[in-house]
Every structure is written in C-alpha cells, then in structure tokens.
C-alpha cells in the first residue's frame, strides 16, 4: 500500500480510539471537567503528563532544531528536561497539597486578591494561546504532507477532533486520551529511529548508534562524518556551537523555569488522589519523557546525514522521492539560482538554492531513509498524537481560566455547578477557534513559538508560584507588580524583535547578547526583584495566608 493509504488507516484507527475514550470518560461534574475528579492513578497520570508535555515541539520540531543547529540545539534538551525535574521537586507536591483546580486559583487565594487572580488568568491565557499556536501548526504540517490536504484544512480537522474530546470529556476525557496518545507517539518515534540506527551503524539502540561508527565507512563515526559534511558545505562543524555562552545559559534557564511555570503541566498534578501520588506520577513522567529526549539527538544526526547525502550536489531532475513529496507542501523549495539544474545546499545566502523547513525533519526522516510506507504513516500518527495531546491540555487551561477563575470567582460567584460546566465547554469551543486561527497564521516555526511560551511562563508565573510557596512575607502588591513587569518586559522584547523590527533581531542589538528565546530569564529576574522590593515596602500578608503557606509547605499525604 502507498503512504497515503497507510496514513489514513493508522491515523483513522488512532482517532477512533481517542473518540471512543472521550465518550467513555465524559465529564459530568466541574471537578471531573477540571481535574478528572482527582482520581487518576499515578502511572496513568505519568503517561498523560508525558504526552501533555511532549508536544509537537518535542516530537516534530526539537530534532529538527538539533539537526540544523548542531550542538547549540542541546539547550532545548537541557532546558525542557531540567525544567521538568524542577517542576517535580519544587512545585508539584506543594500545589497538589493546595488542592484547587488551577494556577490562577492558587495565585488568587495565596495573594488574597481578585486582581492577582485576574493577572494570573491573563498570563495563563496569553501563554496557552502562544503555546497552542505551535501545536496547531504541527497538526497542519502533518495533514498537509501525509493526507495531501492544505495546511488550513489540516488545522480545521485537528480543531474538530480536539473540540470533540476536550469539550465533551474535559480533563477526565483528555487524561485517558493522552495515555493512548503517549503510546502512539512514543512507538512512532522509536520505530524509525531503531530502523535507521541499525541500517547506518548496526546498533538497534539509537542512543548507542549516535556514537557508533558507520557500517558504510568502517572506522568513521557518525558524528565525524556529519562534521565533515557540514564543513564541506560551509557550515560550522555539527559538534561545535555558534551561540554565545550567556545566550545559551539564558535560553536554557528560560526553558527550565518556563517548564515549571506552564499551567497545563502544573494542573496535571491536581488530578491524582494524594500528594504522594503527585510525586510518584512525576517520576513516571520523567522516565517516559526521557525515552523520547534521549532518542532525539540520534534522530537529528541520522536525518541530517541522510538528507545532505541524498540531495546536495544532485541533479534536481533526479531528486529523491521524499524531496518531491515535501516540495508540494511548500516546506521544501529549490531555487536554481545559477540555472545549472544542480541542487546547491551551502551556508551562503547568495549561493544556497535549497530551503528546508526545520519542522519536517522528523516527519521526513523515514522517507529520507527509505523505510517501509507503514513506518511513514505511523510517524504521521505520532506527530498528530503529540500535537493534539498538548493542544487539548492547553485548551482546557484556557477554558478553565475563563469559566472557573474569571466567571465563577470574579464575575458571577453564585453560578451553579451545571452553569459553570456549561460555561467551561463554551469557553473551550471559543479557545479551539482562536487556536485554529493561530495554527493557520503561526508567528514562527513550532519549537520557536513554544520557546516563546516558555519564556513568558518563566517571566510571569514561576516567581509568583515559588515565592507563594516559600516566602511567607510575599504579599499581593509584590506578586502583582512582579508578574506584570515580567510579562510586559518579556512579551515586549519578543514582539519587538520578532514582529515590529525583525531586521534588528541580531546579537549586536540584543540586551547583553540575549536572544528573544532566552529573554524570559531576564524577565524572571526582574519579576523576582520587583516582587521582593515592592513586598518589603507594603503591608505584610494576613495571618490566615501565613498559616496557609505553612500548611502548603508540609506536603503530607
């Protein structure tokens, strides 16, 4: 069977499973809609958390970034993995002890202020929409290539599926759907990696193949070969880096603390029965995440090696099938500048004739390596599972922030449980539509957009949550001021360099050489500084709040 048929079969089966699970686990109360009734077993929550966290950026785009950036791409591996450890150790058990539905719920009660709650709602919605744009972009890419439809059509199909199980099942439906999605995405990620590792190095373990010698060239390691290929084309060696040390540090830190401040990840720890279960599920999730993250560098190296060898200096009329397939999507393009019919792929803007979207590397990897068609269809299903699982979690955060934190807590406190559930579903539907728009008109490639979301989370939520748990002196004035300063500074910096004046997006124009992807760390430091200063010159929090902090900091079962 051809690729399209295999894709329809595998994607169709996986989508059917997701819909059946959503119908089976339909939420009937607000607690089930918001936190799955706090009844999810640790193992299932660990798998759901891994699927929620390993978005399209992890599945589709991260290996692509590493493939093109080489060693510099390690910031994404270190930042996202380290951030999860930070979340599991410093936040998860304490927020579970608090026992509410959302991060704005914690901010509002801890800082005894509806204004603080409102600022947190704005932050949650802003961060979530930024993040979800990357997921819907990933959905569109997968559909446009493998089902041969327009990216817009692909996004609309993805919106429909997410709308069905997010609006119907809420967190309960999303959780058990994400368990299935994790199984699909990890299987889809590992199968081609194992195939290619064995073909190229003789090792069935991709992590070992990454550091092994090539079968085709005994005595030559994969990385040495890749260094040579890169340098021959005018690029820096794959194992060397271009970014400054300070920018690497700030990007890694922004991704780490941004992970710990992402509302759709934090809310997963409200879904387990006990504080102990929150710790256990965090451990399970880290194991499940590590399986993919330790495989990504190998996939990046395999894909770049095969890609360069298959197209560079080759006649365009003899280009391989994968090149022609992806060219029809517009994500690969060839411009014969010297009109010799030969594909010139070099690190020179005036001479380079090949443009490859970073987001296609993982999806095109099986085709480049000439793997069986069923493997290619499986990867398409995995990419959709990764994008849809995170999109669903983000959309639930948005709907919960609107229905519970804004509507129930601020605008209409006397609303019934049934009315609140209806409002949450309406908000989820609205969020799906907006997310679809951003998927059709994304502000960047997938991992880049997601990196911005992490920076915004680092600059706004993380300091407020950490100080809310570990500082009894932190008050509402300090927290509100810090969140606003961090969010406005970081968003302003990103918007200026990415949208207002992209021509100035160069190291010489950045503050201290820090890129927009890393500026969230500086926003976080400003947040901490402003919060601490303002809190010292304003009234201390009430005794009731001090007692609540003492209670949270002893996360007993």
Give me the tens of pLDDT residue by residue for the chain, a chain 557 residues long.
877 788 888 888 888 887 788 777 766 677 667 666 677 888 988 898 888 777 777 787 788 888 888 888 888 888 878 887 887 777 777 877 776 667 788 888 888 888 888 888 887 777 777 777 767 777 777 777 777 777 778 788 877 777 776 666 677 777 888 888 888 889 999 999 999 999 999 999 999 988 899 998 888 899 999 999 888 888 888 888 778 889 889 988 888 887 776 777 777 777 888 777 877 888 888 889 889 888 989 999 998 998 888 888 888 888 888 888 888 777 788 888 888 888 888 888 788 888 888 778 888 888 888 888 888 888 888 888 877 777 777 777 777 778 777 777 777 778 777 787 788 778 877 877 887 787 777 655 445 566 677 788 888 888 988 898 888 889 999 999 998 999 899 989 988 887 788 888 888 889 988 988 889 999 999 999 999 999 999 998 999 888 888 887 765 55
Q: Collect all residues with Cβ–Cβ distance below 8 Å to 326 and sequence separation of at least 6.
A: 145, 332, 360, 364, 367
CA separation (Å) from 405 to 16, 314, 393, 412? 33, 58, 17, 10
pLDDT at 200: 92
For residue 219, the surrounding DSSP H or E stretch is: none
**Is beta strand 332-334 parallel, antiparallel or unpaired with respect to 354-356?**
antiparallel
- Whether residue 283 contacts residue 312, with contact meaning beta carbons closer than 8 Å, is answered with no
pLDDT at 555: 54
DSSP codes, 330-378: TSEEE--TTSSSB----S-TTT--EEE-GGGHHHHHHHHTT--HHHHHH
pLDDT at 37: 66
Tell me which DSSP letter residue 235 carries. Answer: P
Enter the tokens of residue 224: 């040495």
pLDDT at 523: 94
């Amino acid at each position: 069977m051809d690729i399209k048929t295999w894709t329809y079969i595998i994607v169709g089966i996986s989508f059917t499973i997701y819909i059946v699970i959503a119908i089976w686990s339909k939420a009937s109360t607000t607690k089930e809609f918001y936190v799955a009734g706090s009844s999810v077993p640790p193992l299932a929550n660990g798998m759901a958390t891994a699927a929620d966290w390993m978005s399209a950026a992890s599945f589709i785009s991260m290996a692509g970034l590493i493939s093109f950036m080489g060693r510099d791409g390690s910031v994404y591996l270190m930042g996202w993995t380290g951030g999860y450890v930070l979340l599991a150790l410093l936040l998860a058990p304490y927020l579970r002890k608090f026992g509410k539905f959302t991060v704005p719920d914690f901010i509002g009660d801890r800082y005894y202020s509806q204004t603080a709650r409102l600022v947190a709602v704005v932050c949650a919605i802003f961060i979530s929409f930024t993040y979800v744009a990357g997921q819907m972009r990933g959905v569109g890419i997968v559909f446009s290539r493998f089902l041969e439809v327009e990216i817009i059509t692909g996004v609309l199909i993805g919106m429909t599926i997410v709308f069905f199980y997010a609006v119907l099942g809420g967190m309960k439906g999303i959780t058990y759907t994400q368990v299935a999605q994790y199984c699909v995405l990890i299987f889809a990620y590992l199968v081609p990696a194992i195939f290619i590792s064995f073909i190229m190095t003789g090792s069935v373990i991709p992590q070992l193949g990454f550091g092994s010698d090539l079968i085709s060239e005994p005595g030559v390691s994969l990385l040495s070969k890749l260094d040579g290929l890169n340098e021959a084309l005018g690029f820096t060696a794959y194992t060397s880096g271009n970014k400054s040390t300070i920018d690497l540090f700030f990007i890694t830190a922004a991704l780490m603390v941004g992970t710990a401040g992402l509302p759709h990840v934090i809310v997963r720890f409200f879904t387990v029965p006990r504080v102990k279960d929150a710790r256990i599920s965090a451990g399970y999730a880290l194991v499940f995440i590590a399986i993919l993250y330790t495989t990504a560098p190998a996939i990046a190296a395999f894909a770049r090696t095969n890609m360069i060898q298959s197209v560079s200096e080759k006649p365009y009329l003899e280009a391989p099938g994968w090149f022609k397939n992806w060219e029809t999507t517009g994500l690969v393009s060839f411009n014969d500048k010297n009109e010799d019919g030969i594909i010139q792929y070099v690190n020179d803007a005036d001479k380079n004739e090949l443009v490859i979207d970073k987001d296609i590397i993982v999806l095109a990897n099986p085709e480049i390596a000439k793997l069986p068609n069923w493997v290619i269809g499986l990867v398409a299903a995995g990419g959709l599972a990764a994008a849809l699982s995170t999109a669903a979690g983000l959309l639930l955060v948005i709907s919960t922030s609107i229905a519970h934190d804004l509507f129930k807590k601020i605008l209409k406190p006397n609303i019934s449980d049934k009315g609140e559930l209806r409002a949450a579903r309406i908000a989820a539907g609205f969020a799906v539509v907006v997310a679809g728009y951003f998927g059709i008109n994304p502000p960047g490639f997938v991992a880049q957009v997601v990196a911005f979301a992490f920076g915004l989370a680092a600059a706004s939520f993380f300091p407020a949550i950490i100080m809310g748990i570990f500082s009894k002196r932190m008050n509402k004035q300090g927290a509100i001021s810090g969140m606003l300063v961090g969010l406005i500074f970081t968003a302003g910096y990103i918007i200026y360099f990415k949208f207002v004046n992209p021509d100035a997006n160069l190291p010489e124009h950045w503050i201290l050489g820090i890129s927009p992807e890393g500026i969230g760390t500086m926003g976080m430091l400003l947040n901490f500084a402003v919060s601490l200063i303002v809190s010292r010159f304003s009234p201390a929090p009430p005794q009731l709040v001090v007692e609540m902090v003492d209670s949270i900091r002893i996360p007993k079962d």
